[in-house]
Structure formats: structure tokens, C-alpha cells
Amino acid sequence: MTQGNPAARGRFITFEGIDGAGKSTHIQFVGELIRARGMELVSSREPGGTPLGEKLRELVLHEAMHLETEALLVFASRREHIAQVIEPALARGAWVISDRFTDASFAYQGGGRGLELVKLDTLANWVHPELWPDLTILFDVPLEVARARLDATRQLDRFEQEKADFFLAARNEYLRRAGQEPRRFRVIDSTQPIDAIRVQLAAIVAALE
């Protein structure tokens, strides 16, 4: 029996940054760049990305809970997201972009809330021992800039209401991880004008193999 060549595996790209860093503005642009390369694009987010994951997102963003419950829920959402969306898409050759992934758990539950990083390592090794993003784009801004960008007219979620120390620790954890894995991360100075960031993003996507 002859079978066609299996599709080349797709690429997995994640976007990170503290709330107000401006990543949402740029994710769509990167999606357009990927489509322009002729690739099938799957655009998703965490927590969420599946019907069950979106229910978990509602809980995580709006219900008070123990910090370990919070960590378990974001990883439960992730498990579902990987099984239902990310792995099938990559396997058929689609490129997946996700607004946040496990680095956010290290930044928010680890840095921000102070959960021991070794527990997050355990969860990551359990939930996705083989899977890590091919590329993680970290939008980095000083805290004051991020706070000023949060839309004051909208109801802030549990994370957005946190104090400066929380975001400082989250940002530091993101930067620490980026420093540890320079091949996976690209850190973008998100205080730059949108057009300047787009030029950088275009170069990053063009360089992806």
C-alpha cells in the first residue's frame, strides 16, 4: 500500500508579556505574515483555546482560589488545548500561534504569586514533556507603560487588578526565562512604535524555517 509523504510538522509560536505589554496588537499581524507564507494558520490562546478551556479561563480569571488550584487549572486548560488543537494542527503541517503558553504560568503563578518553580517544572514535564514552542516572542515593557495601556474603561480581571510587585515579579521571571533560553525567545522592546515592532516581527517570521 502506498501512502503520501506525511505533512511536514508545523511550527508552534507563542506570545508572552505582562498585561498591557501590547501583545494582542501584534498577534494578528504575525498571523497575516504566516498566511502570506502560504501556511495554514491556527490562532489560539491560553487559558482557553477549547470549549472546556474557555470555561476554565472564566474560573481562573474571575474566581478567588488557592494558588496551586490556579496553577492546576491553567495546566488542565493547556492539556486539553494541546490534545485537541495544538498537536493535531502541528501534525497536519499547520502553524499554531498561541496568545500565552507555559511561560505565562512561570511568570504569573511562579513569579507573580510565588509558587515554587519546581512545581511548575513538574507540571510542564507532565503535561507536555516533548512539546515546547519553536519560538516565543516576549513583548517587554516597564511596568508604568503596561499599567498606562490597560484600558481603564473595561472591567479588569483578577490578574489585571494585581499590584505593581506582582507584575514586576512576573516581568522578571519572563526575562529570566528568556535569558536562559535565548534560542527560543525573541524579546521585543514593546515601548517602540507599532511600525518599528512590525519591522522586527517581519524579520523574525521571515527567518523561521
- The strand pairing partners of 47, in sequence order, are none
Does residue 19 bind ligand TYD (CB under 6 A)?
yes
Q: Determine the interface stretch with ligand TYD among 36-44, 79-87, 97-105, 178-186 (rule: CB under 6 A).
A: 97-105
Which one of 34, 104, 120, 146 is in contact with ligand TYD (CB under 6 A)?
Answer: 104
Q: Which residue has the cell 498561541?
A: 98
Give the whole-angstrom CA distance, residue 183 versus residue 166: 27
Smaller CB separation from ligand TYD, 39 or 52: 52
Does residue 174 bind ligand TYD (CB under 6 A)?
no
**Considering the complex, what minimum distance in angstroms separates the CB of residue 200 from ligand TYD?**
21
For 60-66, which contacts have Cβ atoms below 8 Å and span 24 or more sequence positions? Answer: 60/158, 61/157, 61/158, 61/159, 62/157, 62/158, 63/158, 64/158
Count other Cβ atoms within 10 Å, centred on residue 126.
10
Which one of 108, 139, 166, 174 is in contact with ligand TYD (CB under 6 A)?
Answer: 108
**Considering the complex, what minimum distance in angstroms separates the CB of residue 104 from ligand TYD?**
4
CA distances from 180 to 14, 56, 114, 176 (A): 17, 30, 19, 6
Which one of 22, 46, 120, 127 is in contact with ligand TYD (CB under 6 A)?
Answer: 46
Give the whole-angstrom CA distance, residue 179 versus residue 185: 8
Flag whether 24 is marked binding.
yes
Does residue 139 bind ligand TYD (CB under 6 A)?
no
Provide the binding-site residues for ligand TYD, judged by CB under 6 A.
Answer: 19, 24, 46-47, 74, 99-100, 104-105, 108-109, 159
